[in-house]
Structure 1
Amino acid sequence: MDAYRRGEDVWVHVDLPGVAPDSLEINVERNVLTLSAERNWQFEEGDRTYLAERPRGSFRRQVHLGDGLDSEAIEANLSDGVLTLRIPVAEKAKPRRITITPGTSPALEAEAAA
């Protein structure tokens, strides 16, 4: 799994070779992203196995997203055995410029009057 921020999005790439799109499930609950899938293939009865290295069975991975990401706007794509997620940075987490107004502070004026 690779995850990185590019601009206003966090990108996640997960290698899932042999996983059919209909066996893949992606859920988000309380800022925890859960990926689960199955690689189901079997040798047929009577097959003589010489080598069996490809993984099979259930797969589950959880990732904490944090409060700075918009979990309501996640986009997912599975292509060539790679799951790609685009998770936008939440508006509240984006950097913003604070405008400075010239003049005196009401708090400083109140302190000076006391």
Structure 2
Amino acid sequence: MTLMRFDPFRELDRLAEQALHTGARALRSMPMEALRRGDEFLIFLDLPGVLPDDVDVTVERNVVSIRATRAPQRQEGDEVIVDERPYGQFARQLFLGENLDPGRLSADLENGVLNLRIPVSEQSKPRRVPLGGQPTATTADTSGAGASDTANQQSTEQSTTV
């Protein structure tokens, strides 16, 4: 698995917020889309109105932590008529699988969307394994059946040895 889709602690926090503070979760959400494209994972997090200096992305082992802050636009003396925009601290953690390379993670904030690129580690990429030590066919045995039987026996021995 490459991205942990279920975090029991986050789920517990979400349920507690829903039970205790109806609507509070919607104000603190950081909607995410994650997908694999070729040899990298792309993660998109919505952070509308957040400035690049107010976003903090850290990596520790296989955990990516994202924190963002958005302050209200009001100033001293403003009369607030409606205030439905979420502001304050936003946070999210992503648990990466062992097949990803967090050391080469890159992040960019563009049009209110935080883009994370996490490449698949070289060890996890599929690679072709050459067959070593397989004897080459010889023409010393002129009887067709003997050569075929020997080749089948060598092929069976190869598959059980690997």
Output the TM-score relative to the length of structure 2: 0.61
User: Structure 2: which 5+ residue stretches go unaligned?
Assistant: 1-31, 135-153
AA aligned to 2:92 is R
User: Structure 1: which 5+ residue stretches go unaligned?
Assistant: 109-114
Matched-pair identity in %:
46
RMSD: 1.7
After superposition, the C-alpha distances for 1:39-93 in whole angstroms (9 at most, x for unaligned) are: 0125233322221111100011000011111111111111110111111000011
Question: Which has a greater percent of strand?
Answer: 1
SS at match of 2:41: strand
Higher relative contact order (Cα pairs below 8 Å, separated by 6+ residues) = 1
Q: What is aligned with 2:77?
A: 46
Indicate yes or no: 2:106 matched with 1:59. Answer: no
Output the TM-score relative to the length of structure 1: 0.85
Structure number with bigger Rg: 2
Q: What is aligned with 1:112?
A: none
Q: What is aligned with 1:23?
A: 54
Contact 2:48 2:113 in 1 (8 A): yes
Runs of 4+ that moved beyond 4 A: none
